[in-house]
Structure 1
Amino acid sequence: MSFVAVELEKFKSVQNECETDLEKLTFTKKFYTITEAIQFPKFWDEDWLNIAIQELDTKAKIEEVKAADSLAIKTESVEQILLSGQLSDADSAKFSLTSMDFVKSVKQKISADKKFDTYC
């Protein structure tokens, strides 16, 4: 097995110059956000490349989910710390490995939720 590192910024080939699988895959990775069907290169119809594109999409979605989960976990942690009332905002930020701005935003959310609860 071998690994190839490609700097996408330095990849300057245009679609009609892509001949090897590596060139096609690199082109696809760099320009996959093209949305108009008339712009799709003919080699995007190759089965192996469609599978690679689907895998790229799946990995991107997984990373989005991980980021959302991480944010939810951090938010929940800060909420619990703040609701305990045992730490200052600064200590809450240090303990939860977040910023003071993040702690303040969670604190505002808690206040807004409490106000909403009193109206219901």
Structure 2
Amino acid sequence: MKTIHTVTQPTQFPKFWDEEWLKVAIDELDSRKMTPDEKASLEILIARNAESVKAESRKIKEAEQKKLFEFVKSLLIKTQHTVEEIADITDTSVDFVESVQRHLSAN
């Protein structure tokens, strides 16, 4: 009772906390109510979704790299900029620009 003065007022939850859609979503995700088969099924679904997200991220990153490669390639072919200037323009490393340059000279 000596610390009763330090107790704060109870926190009031936002109004949307009592909405029906939130209750349904929480009940659906409440794994304590699931059978072992339902839990396994949910974990498999989550793993598949995570792998799909990773795969899409990889595809996006590869597309960005290809686009950057083509941009650097066109700058090397069509301009008289130095490797350092092209690296600065494209916000890449000098090593990357040099690797594109080596690829061009190999072809």
What TM bracket, shorter-length normalisation? 0.5 to 0.7
* In structure 1, distance between residues paired with 2:74 and 2:62: 18
CA-based RMSD of the aligned residues comes to 2.3
Distance 1:86 1:44, change over 3 A: farther
Unpaired segments ≥5 residues, structure 1:
2-19, 22-41, 114-120
Deviations 1:70-114 (A, max 9, x none): 11011001000000133111100000111000000000000001x
Provide the TM-score with structure 2 as the length reference. 0.62
User: Structure 2 vs 1, CA of residues 51 and 85 (structure 1 numbering), >3 Å: closer, same or farther?
Assistant: same
Change (3 A) 1:107 1:62: same
Equivalent position to 1:102, from 77, 85, 96: 96
- What percentage of residue pairs aligned between the two structures are identical? 19
| 2:71 matches 1:81 | no
Normalised to the residue count of structure 1, the TM-score between the two structures is: 0.56
Q: Does 1:72 align with 2:66?
A: yes
Higher relative contact order (CA 8 A, sep 6+): 2
Partner SS, residue 50 of structure 2: helix
Unaligned runs of 5+ in 2: 1-15, 17-29
Question: What is the CA-CA distance between 1:45 and the residue it aligns to?
Answer: 6.6
**Which residue of structure 1 aligns with residue 4 of structure 2?**
none
Could you say what secondary structure the match of 1:86 adopts? coil
Asked if the contact 1:90–1:100 (Cα under 8 Å) also holds between the matched residues in 2, the reply is yes
Amino acid at match of 1:47: S
Higher alpha-carbon Rg:
2
